[in-house]
């Protein structure tokens, strides 16, 4: 992680180009690792037993009072309330969304 104390000034355009190339390579490697993790998680979630165990764990947390678990359950089953945005300008009111 860069901060003011560990930054080194660039001395030439060649050095800047080389640093940029190395940063691009490292960024690509990090993206590939994240994609691999995502693919592995998706494969695991295709297993019905894993889905049942995760669902049970979330429900149990919700029953213990975990509000975030409740929100995940509510949103997953399609009961998320819609956001309302009111814009008032020159006595014109525009409402986006509905509150169910």
List the domain boundaries for the chain.
13-46, 48-100
Predicted TM-score (pTM) of this structure: 0.48
Sign of CA dihedral 89, 99, 72, 48: negative
The predicted-structure confidence for 23-82, as pLDDT tens digits, reads as follows 899 998 888 888 888 899 999 999 999 999 999 999 999 999 999 999 999 988 888 877
The predicted-structure confidence for 76-94, as pLDDT tens digits, reads as follows 888 887 766 666 666 666 6
Using CA atoms, how far apart are residues 82 and 99, in angstroms rounded to an integer?
6
Q: How many of the other CB atoms lie within 10 Å of CB of 61?
A: 16
Using CA atoms, how far apart are residues 57 and 52, in angstroms rounded to an integer?
9
């Amino acid at each position: 992680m860069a901060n003011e104390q560990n930054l080194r000034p660039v001395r030439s355009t060649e050095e800047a180009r080389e640093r940029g190339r190395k940063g691009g390579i490292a960024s690509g490697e990090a993206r590939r690792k994240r994609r691999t993790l995502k693919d592995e998680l998706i494969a695991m979630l295709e297993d019905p037993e894993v889905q049942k165990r995760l669902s049970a764990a979330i429900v149990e947390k919700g029953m213990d009072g975990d509000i975030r678990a409740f929100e995940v359950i509510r949103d997953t089953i399609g009961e998320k309330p819609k956001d309302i945005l009111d814009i008032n300008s020159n006595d014109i009111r525009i409402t986006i969304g509905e509150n169910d």
